[in-house]
């Protein structure tokens, strides 16, 4: 019982003892990869409470970093002016810095959890020490994602399997400082034959974290750290089982293929999909957008529309307009984003327009403005919102309003169809006897 407890508290000592005993016989016994989910989670639970003070400080630090990142991101997004090129550049620079911070903190967190799994005293300075590993981690991440997506192209299942095969990539980068090719090989070796069990471990860990959410959210501080320590323990155990000594390590890495034939086929298939998307889908989308969205006539908006920024963007070039997802009007030299739609569906012929003047509640919908309803400015004049500019522009892009004189009067935002005498308001002449 004491030996079992000692192996749970310090997996490194257990693996070291096993290696020495095998070395004494000069016949290293290469064990099959295996682990106990209960043992890993128990180790995470015990280690959490043995280091509760540091883990709380670490968790609060991560939370503060996360909050500051989001506050700055929201502030920059709200204050970006598309017409100001420097504002756009600043926003893009912050996006890059934001990703850099996330990667830096992520790599540092892995090192802290590995130190906890090794029984060492971790240090918060690990959160910013591993910046030199970021380029390697980005390259490894891109290659891994390419392979995994290629697996999803091969009827999904291979992609799921390969995602578990490469789940310890960042641990090898931080712990071994291994190259990209060596990291991919190591991941294949230590997860061989146990990917489904790793999936079960992830499933149990996810359920524990869901329970942490239900515990008023505070339970996440416990659940997230316990499962993260357990995952670091799992990495240590599998790594020590697969690579007992330098000779075995070299032998396994030299015989392990970097990319199997199915992986190569999946990657090629994914690249073909990307190529087809670039050649056919994007041009088709642009043609459809311009066909449905281009304004073809030189029409000046009605003077009653005072805030033209609601209609036109201040973007000054076609390139910027296309980048922002708008439609460039060559005649007006403006970028149009929103679409105007007749709420009463009566746009078209003059006959339909005449009918729409007698429909209460009519108008147009336009972007974030919502419904712009028709209204009466006096007893005989109707102000009607329309999407049809008078010079023949394509409908649907600039809401304009026009004044109409109603022959029978105006009421409730529509012309009255016929003059009906008002009995209540008619003068009453007394009868004389």
Nearest-10 Cα torsion for 174, 176, 179, 180: -60
Q: Is residue 263 part of a domain?
A: no
Distance CA 331, CA 338 (A): 18
Distance CA 414, CA 360 (A): 5
Closest CA to 103 of 128, 125, 124: 128
Q: Is residue 320 part of a domain?
A: no
Residue 279 structure tokens: 């050649």
* 297 dihedral zone (left: phi>0; alpha: psi -120 to 50; beta): beta
Residues 342 and 243 in one domain: no
pTM of the prediction?
0.60
Predicted confidence at residue 10, as pLDDT, reads 52
Q: Is residue 95 part of a domain?
A: yes
Q: Is residue 376 part of a domain?
A: yes
Residues 122 and 238 in one domain: yes
Domain count for the chain: 2
Q: Is residue 271 part of a domain?
A: no
Q: Is residue 430 part of a domain?
A: no
Residues 49 and 152 in one domain: yes
Domain boundary residue among 237, 258, 279?
258
- The b/e string for 349-374 (b: 16+ C-beta within 10 A; e otherwise) is eeeebeebbebeebbbbbeeeeebbb
Residues 80 and 179 in one domain: yes
Query: The domain containing residue 396 runs over which residues?
Result: 337-415
Alpha helices per DSSP H over 166-300: 169-176, 180-190, 195-214, 219-242, 246-255, 261-276, 282-293
Q: Is residue 288 part of a domain?
A: no
The answer for residues whose C-beta is within 8 angstroms of residue 58's C-beta and 6 or more apart is 112, 122, 124
Show pLDDT as tens, one digit a residue, over the chain (433 residues).
444 444 444 544 444 334 334 333 443 444 567 789 999 999 999 999 999 999 999 999 999 999 999 888 888 777 765 556 777 788 888 889 999 999 999 999 999 999 999 999 999 999 999 999 999 999 999 999 999 999 898 888 999 999 999 999 999 999 998 889 888 888 888 888 899 999 999 999 999 999 988 887 788 899 999 999 999 999 999 988 888 767 777 777 777 777 788 888 888 988 998 888 888 776 766 555 444 443 333 333 333 333 333 344 444 565 555 554 456 666 666 666 555 666 655 544 556 666 777 777 777 776 555 677 888 888 888 888 776 553 444 344 556 777 888 888 888 888 888 754 433 333 333 333 3
Residue 371, helix vs strand vs coil? strand
Domain boundary residue among 200, 234, 258?
258
Handedness of CA 145, 151, 154, 160 (dihedral sign): negative
């Amino acid at each position: 019982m004491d030996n079992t407890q000692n192996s749970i508290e310090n997996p490194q000592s257990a693996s070291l003892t096993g290696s020495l005993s095998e070395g004494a016989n000069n016949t290293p016994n290469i064990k099959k990869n295996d682990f106990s989910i209960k043992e890993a989670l128990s180790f995470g639970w015990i280690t959490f409470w043995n280091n509760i003070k540091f883990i709380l400080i670490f968790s609060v630090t991560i939370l503060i970093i996360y909050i500051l990142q989001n506050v700055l991101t929201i502030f920059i997004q709200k204050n970006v002016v598309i017409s100001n090129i420097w504002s756009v550049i600043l926003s893009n620079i912050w996006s890059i810095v934001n990703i850099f911070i996330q990667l830096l903190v992520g790599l540092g967190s892995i090192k802290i959890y590995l130190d906890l799994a090794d029984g060492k005293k971790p240090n918060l300075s690990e959160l910013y020490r591993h910046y030199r590993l970021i380029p390697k981690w980005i390259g490894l991440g891109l290659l891994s994602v390419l392979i995994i997506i290629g697996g999803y192209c091969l009827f999904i299942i291979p992609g799921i399997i390969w995602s578990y095969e490469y789940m310890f990539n960042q641990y090898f980068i931080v712990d071994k400082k291994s190259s990209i090719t060596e990291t991919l090989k190591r991941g294949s070796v230590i997860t061989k034959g146990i990917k489904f069990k790793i999936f079960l471990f992830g499933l149990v860990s996810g359920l524990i974290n869901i329970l942490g959410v239900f515990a008023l959210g505070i339970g996440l501080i416990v659940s997230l750290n316990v499962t993260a320590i357990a995952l670091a323990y799992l990495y240590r155990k599998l790594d020590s089982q697969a690579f007992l000594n330098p000779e075995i390590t070299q032998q396994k890495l030299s015989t392990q293929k970097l990319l199997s034939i199915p992986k190569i086929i999946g990657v090629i298939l994914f690249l073909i999909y990307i190529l087809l998307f670039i050649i056919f889908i994007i041009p088709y989308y642009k043609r459809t957008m311009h066909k449905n969205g281009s304004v073809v006539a030189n029409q000046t908006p009605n003077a009653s529309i005072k805030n033209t920024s609601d209609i036109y963007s201040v973007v000054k070039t076609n390139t910027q307009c296309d980048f922002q997802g708008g439609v460039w009007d060559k005649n007006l030299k403006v970028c149009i984003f929103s679409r105007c739609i007749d709420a009463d569906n009566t746009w078209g012929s003059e006959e339909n327009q005449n009918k729409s003047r007698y429909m209460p509640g009519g108008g147009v919908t336009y972007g974030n403005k919502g419904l712009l309803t028709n209204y009466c400015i006096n007893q005989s004049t109707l102000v009607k919102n329309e999407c049809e500019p008078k010079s023949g522009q394509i409908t649907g892009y600039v809401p304009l309003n026009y004044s109409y004189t109603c022959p029978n009067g105006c009421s409730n935002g529509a012309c009255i169809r016929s003059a009906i005498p008002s009995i209540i308001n008619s003068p009453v002449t007394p009868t004389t006897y």
